Amino acid sequence: MLLQVRNQGDDLVSAVRQGYAFDGACLELGALVADGAPLADVQVRVPLSMLNRHGLIAGATGTGKTKTLQVMAEQLSAAGVPVFAADIKGDLSGLASPGSSDEKVAARARSVGQEWTPAAFPVELLRLGDDGVGVPVRASVTSFGPTLLAKVLELNATQESSLGLVFHYADTAGLPLVEFADLRAVIQHLTAPEGKHDLEGLGGLSKQTAGVILRELVNFSASGADSFFGEPEFEVGSLLRTADDGRGVVTLLELPSVQDRPVLFSTFLMWLLAELFEELPEVGDLEKPKLVFFFDEAHLLFKDASKDFLAALIQTVRLVRSKGVGVFFVTQSPKDVQEDVLAQLGSRVQHQLRAFTPNDAAALRAAVRTYPTSAYDLEELLTTLGIGEAVVTVMSEKGAPTPVAHTMLQAPRSLMAPSSPDVLAGVVAASPLAAKYGERVDRESAYELLSGRIAAGPGAPVGSPEPLTREEEIKRLEAEIRGLPVPGTVPTGSPSPTSSSPARKPRAHTDSPLDSFLKTAGRELAKEIVRGVFGTRRRR
């Protein structure tokens, strides 16, 4: 059925033509649809300078959300803007390969006024955990913080508060939490006779609460999810890269087993966004964003979230704009996004919504109420959109919403399918990040420090030892150079420390003088940790 607008068609065409006539650089989304056909001379676009006002790409499964994301990522890259996106189904890896031309693609391009030529774009592949072909992304437990980790473990408010105390204790005691074994060791220490008094001034940690947290950690580890935690930790500055030709690098995070750990996936993306918020300087309004971050499966982020988590999320989304970062939430329905977050989104690309159930119908009516006044019967239009069509409204250069426009979207210029394994292997082989993040690093952390204290006997201090004096450091260096036993270390063959902590063999001391210095400096830095909006660590 062709949908007719309520007012005169010429009035709508004129309003859209004027409403989307911007002076600055833009992303071209597509062409206005009137009387069932696209008008190639009436373009619907979004100003590049307004993309850090965030946005929403929504629609039912199979309506074209991924292709919309792909079109936007291509044009952002061409404009020199780095892009980050989660590639859940692997389809976005097609950005690394030029698209295939056929009559169908050519006809669509002509109908929307698109000058279509096949093109590949600079792509970086990352992977979350051990599965996949990309460069591994890891975070330390300390960096992840108690608020995000509590959401991953699905803890209640009391348990989340107790976990926050554990992190606070580890920070002040100089106990780096790198892997889950470190966190388990600290929790067990705080409930053991030698450590149970350490949190008395802050309310303590009950054995029951500690038991719940430990059980959740064990279950989480059993699913293989603890492979995401460790070092070297991914630095978010690696997302802000351009290729030699000036195009922005499109960083894709592979998630081949997201169905097994959906909450971890969404929370890990939130960690990346929080790190960007904490690390990047204030830049105000720019001609183009420093990064556009596409947050796929956004409904997982808000599901069963605590009040503290939501408050931190809202604050991050509200303020990260001033860091030059734009965030687009990608989900099936606008109702999946929390209202206070939805209110901050400047651009909306809404694909078809389905109304098969009473709940669907209610969600449809709620979505319609969030749009500016328009010439459309949106409740009908949103259920009759075809694949690759969307209802669009964006924020103009003056900060006002543009007219609502039924839009036929452009076709991607890159491959609309996963790239071949050979292409992906070549991308990873050429990655400058592989050498930096490829191999896991296992350094001294909370588990080893607590194991050493147990071996030293009751009364030994928790946490970092005092830094070596200059004379002690000289003696240490001389001993290492001469191959003699190093003062203050356990000779080879000495009994290994024992611990009630989870099985993880303490590492033998094989550090070089440089390693020793870095560890000492690291311990001092651990004492300087402060925590940001999500309880994630923020480096001073």
Q: Are residues 349 and 433 in the same domain?
A: yes
Cα diameter, the chain: 92
Q: Residues 6 or more apart from 355 whose CB is under 8 A from it?
A: 361, 363, 364, 383
The chain-wide mean pLDDT, for the chain, equals: 83
Residues 470-487 as b/e (b if ≥16 CB within 10 A, e otherwise) read eeeeebbeeebeeeeebe
pLDDT given at position 513: 47
pLDDT given at position 257: 65
Q: Comparing 65 with 10, which gets the higher pLDDT?
A: 65
Per the domain annotation, does 57 fall within a domain?
yes
Q: How many helices (H) and strands (E) does the chain have?
A: 19, 14
pLDDT at 531 over 80: no
Per the domain annotation, does 3 fall within a domain?
no
Q: Are residues 433 and 395 in the same domain?
A: yes
Q: Are residues 114 and 215 in the same domain?
A: no
Q: Tell me the pLDDT band of 191, cut-offs 50, 70 and 90.
A: confident
Per the domain annotation, does 294 fall within a domain?
yes
pLDDT at 473 over 90: no
Q: Comparing 407 with 301, which gets the higher pLDDT?
A: 407
pLDDT given at position 486: 54
Q: Residues 6 or more apart from 52 whose CB is under 8 A from it?
A: 285, 286, 289, 321, 324, 325, 326
Q: Are residues 115 and 156 in the same domain?
A: no
Per the domain annotation, does 296 fall within a domain?
yes
Per the domain annotation, does 464 fall within a domain?
no
Per the domain annotation, does 103 fall within a domain?
yes
Highest mean pLDDT among 156-160, 404-408, 442-446, 496-500: 404-408
Q: Are residues 324 and 311 in the same domain?
A: yes
State the CATH number of the domain containing residue 273.
3.40.50.300
Highest mean pLDDT among 13-22, 131-140, 249-258, 516-525: 13-22
Q: Are residues 508 and 374 in the same domain?
A: no
Report the length, in residues, of the chain: 540
Q: Tell me the pLDDT band of 309, cut-offs 50, 70 and 90.
A: confident
Starting at the earlier edge strand, list the strands of the sheet with 325-331: 37-47, 26-34, 405-409, 389-393, 347-350, 55-58, 325-331, 291-296, 83-87, 250-254, 123-128, 135-137
Pairing type for strands 291-296 and 83-87 reads parallel
Q: Tell me the pLDDT band of 452, cut-offs 50, 70 and 90.
A: confident
pLDDT given at position 516: 47
Residues 38-49 as b/e (b if ≥16 CB within 10 A, e otherwise) read bbbebbbbbbbb
Q: What is the mean pLDDT of residues 495-522?
A: 46
pLDDT at 462 over 60: no
- For the stretch 197-243, pLDDT in tens is 787 766 778 889 999 999 999 888 887 778 889 999 999 999 999 99
Q: Comparing 84 with 36, which gets the higher pLDDT?
A: 84
Under DSSP, the state recorded for 3 is P
Q: How far apart are alpha carbons 317 and 326 in whole angstroms?
A: 9
Lowest mean pLDDT: which of 69-73, 370-374, 515-519?
515-519
Q: Which domain holds residue 421?
A: 9-137+231-437
Per the domain annotation, does 1 fall within a domain?
no
Q: Are residues 260 and 390 in the same domain?
A: yes
Lowest mean pLDDT: which of 332-346, 362-376, 460-474?
460-474
Overall pTM surpassing 0.85 (yes/no)? no
**Range list of β-strands (E), 67-168:** 83-87, 123-128, 135-137
Q: What is the mean pLDDT of residues 67-71?
A: 96
Q: Are residues 171 and 283 in the same domain?
A: no
- For the stretch 39-63, pLDDT in tens is 999 999 999 999 999 999 999 988 9
Q: How many domains does the chain have?
A: 2
Q: Are residues 428 and 477 in the same domain?
A: no
Q: Are residues 506 and 527 in the same domain?
A: yes
Q: Tell me the pLDDT band of 281, cut-offs 50, 70 and 90.
A: very high
Per the domain annotation, does 2 fall within a domain?
no
pLDDT given at position 456: 54
Identify any residues that bridge with 139 across adjacent strands, giving them in sequence order.
229
Q: Are residues 305 and 423 in the same domain?
A: yes
pLDDT given at position 357: 85
pLDDT given at position 266: 81
Q: Are residues 220 and 201 in the same domain?
A: yes
Helix (H, G, I), strand (E, B) or coil at 314: helix
